[in-house]
Chain A
Amino acid sequence: MQIRLDIKRRKSAADTPYLQSVSYLFDDINETVATALTKINRGGYKDTDGRAVTAVEWECSCLQKKCGACAMVIGGVPRLACDTKLSLFQKAGFVRIEPLRKFPVVSDLTVDRSIMFKNLRDISLWLDEELSADEKSVDTAYDASRCLQCGCCLEVCPNFYAGGKFYGMAAGIPASKLLAQLDKGKRKALAKQYDKHFYSGCGKSLSCKDICPAGIETDALMVNSNALAVFKRLFK
């Protein structure tokens, strides 16, 4: 099987990006974009104009869609390279591979997502004192803890931009863990931050629904957190 990979490249943020097209052969229908990038980076590939393809910068760690490192825009959709099979694009014969657009580019497909971690610090997302384990919140805490901090939900969000006051679902989901776990009296400070940096900025477009590579039901967790933090009603 053969496919053309159109990879958006630039050496640094200051460079003008360009598309480099690589004709790529693969045998396994389960082969992923991550594998293709790994193989291309071993060397020996030429682009469709006959130039050697230098190593493509991208981030990768687990290859099992559990770490979020390899999030990028593939075929126009933000997703994980390790979870995107090449065969998905076989009919079209090509696929465009680009870096996430909401974050500053470092080089090629690598972006600097540190704003996400800064935002979590900014809403003081931590426990001030130890929790006593509570069975009721286990399922919500589990679902929320699955967030990869990959940034896919921010990519499709019409309200999020790096540096803005609205921190997006990538902060909303982690917040929903502690909101569910904290007792009513101790939830106040976080609830205020949630209201300020999530609830009030969210346009409820729900564009982040079904985009999460970890399969987190973002809307369900949001409903739960809105109830706890904003409407102060206990649904569970």
Chain B
Amino acid sequence: MLAHVQSCEFPRFRPVLRRAAPVRLAMTRPPEALALDALLRRVAQTRDRAAFAALFDHFAPRIKSYLMRLGAPAAQAEDLAQEAMLSLWRKAHLFDPAKASAATWLFTIARNLRIDAIRREKRPELDPQDFQPEAGPDADDAITLASDEVRLREALKDLPPDQAMVIQQSFFADKPHSQIADELGIPLGTVKSRLRLAMVRLKSALGNTP
């Protein structure tokens, strides 16, 4: 039984790890995160359609891929990827490069669209009016944020594979952690401790005290 679970479940997620590097290498000159942020600012400031098209080419196929991994049929994933990009055009003035990268911002847009359109639920959201904005070292500085992104990228690459896998599945499997544990044939407590260890590593890579 265990062997069966492993043969079905592990390989489904391995390709993500295996394919990631070749994809980056295959691209001639991957637009760097900062360049993407700058394109997004141009969309906000001058309603630049060429900048929008460049962002579309980069992000829409990844959003479609994200939604398909979470079970959306290709046609629906494509429609929602276009919706997400429309939403980027309409809300571009709300993008704050000091708070998040373009990729993070689009991830939250795609995540919320999926909850709304596929799960037909609302996402309970925080309101910054409820609390004083955090004055953390990285709260208001786009350059610190960019170096954080680089450190996060490295730290994610360096995660032990068992921790990286539960993090990946948390984002791409749309299953509760109890089910992920069952399918991996490990106790729920092990999944939770892998998540905890991964978060401790990532926080310390970014200099956040736990």
- To the question of whether A and B form a pair in one complex, the answer is no
